[in-house]
Amino acid sequence: MRRLADKVAVITGAATGIGAATAKVFAQEGATVVCADVNEEEMNKTVDEIKSEGGNAMAFQLDVSSEESVTSFAEEIKKKFGVIDVLFNNAGVDEQGGKVHEYPVELFDRIIAVDLRGTFLCSKYLIPLMLENGGSIINTASMSGQAADLDRSGYNAAKGGIINFTKAMAIDYARHGIRVNSLSPGTIETPLIDDLVGSKQDKMGEKFREANKWITPMGRLGRPEEMAAVALFLASDDSSYVTGEDITADGGIMAYTWPGKMLIEEEEWKKGTE
Is the Cα dihedral 15, 46, 185, 246 positive or negative? positive
State the Cα–Cα distance between residues 148 and 43, nearest whole angstrom.
Answer: 31
Q: How far apart are CA 176 and CA 24, in angstroms?
A: 28
DSSP string over 30-88:
T-EEEEEES-HHHHHHHHHHHHHTT-EEEEEE--TT-HHHHHHHHHHHHHHHS--SEEE
Query: 3-state class of 218 per DSSP?
Result: coil
Which position among 103, 125, 155, 241 bears the catalytic label? 155
Query: What residue type is 189 in one-letter code?
Result: E
125 among known catalytic residues:
no
Q: Which residues, in sequence order, are bridge partners of residue 69?
A: none
84 φ, ψ to 5°? Answer: -130, 160
Residues with catalytic annotation? Answer: 155
